[in-house]
Amino acid sequence: MAKVLLLTNSQGASAEVLPALALLQHTCKVMPLEASVLVDTPLMDVVFVDARRDFPTAKSLTRLLSTTGVGAPIIAITTEGGLSAFTADWGVNDVILDTAGPAEVDARIRIAVGAHAAQLESLDPTSSEIRQGDVVIDENTYTAKIKGTSLDLTFKEFELLKYLAQHPGRVFTRAQLLQEIWGYDYFGGTRTVDVHIRRLRSKLGPEFESIIGTVRNVGYRFTVQNGGKETSIPELV
């Protein structure tokens, strides 16, 4: 049984968007078709996006989900007439018709979840290095380098850089970073995160300070650079 996240603005939820889904035993959580779901997104096995009507909104959201590391395969739901609108730049793993039966929906979920798990298993679990563009972080030696040059980081600065680099593109609120890096028993405010981000950027230097991006009114994210240029990631507003 999979944990399914359905993003839709339909009042009828799953029973109206993808009727067959309601007939299966998967756990389904319904959330609005909005970019704000990226903040505190629950851990899910697969994400369904309602793309039956509002194509611009659905496409913008699927692209955002695929580039911000939602951590699950994305399946778009559409009508037969809407199939022609889908291209590779939607960033989805699969497309399914809203009229699909329970057996097909269940098969699509199994295949998507299985393919995602296989992709994760293909990564080298024994490596202690995190490589993102010109940034190399070694968890065993607690060292971070940019273009071969070591950075003089404090323990918290290192942990902050490592955590963000482990989830490239994903947006984290100050509260989330405070919880992950400083822990539940830390009584300082979220301004602590801002101070450490500012110090970390200073040590990264003018050429690379932008890899720690600020998402207005939300928090921070790690932006991968390729050849000195940032990978384009849509902005949350």
Q: Over 193-232, what HEC string results?
A: HHHHHHHHHHHHCCCCHHHEEEECCCEEEECCEECCEECC
Quote the tokens at residue 157. Answer: 């600065």
DSSP class per residue in 69-126: T-SS-EEEEE-GGGGGG--GGG--SEEEETT--HHHHHHHHHHHHHHHHHHHHTS-TT
Residue 235 has pLDDT above 50, yes or no: no
- Encode pLDDT of 146-187 as tens digits: 988 999 999 999 999 999 998 888 888 888 898 888 876 666
**Residue in 41, 65, 8, 68 with CA at minimum distance from that of residue 215:** 68
Question: What's the CA gap between 210 and 24, in Å, rounded?
Answer: 45
pTM: 0.58
CATH class of the domain comprising 3-123: alpha beta
Query: How many helices (H) and strands (E) would you count in the chain?
Result: 6, 14
Q: 233 and 191 in contact (C-beta within 8 Å)?
A: no
Q: What's domain 129-222's architecture?
A: Orthogonal Bundle (1.10)
Q: Which residues contact 132 (CB under 8 A, 6 or more apart)?
A: 165, 168, 211, 222, 224
Kindly state the tokens that stand for 202: 């200073």
- Domain edges within the chain: 3-123, 129-222
Tell whether the model's pLDDT for residue 106 goes beyond 50: yes
For 131-144, the pLDDT digits (tens) are 888 899 998 888 99
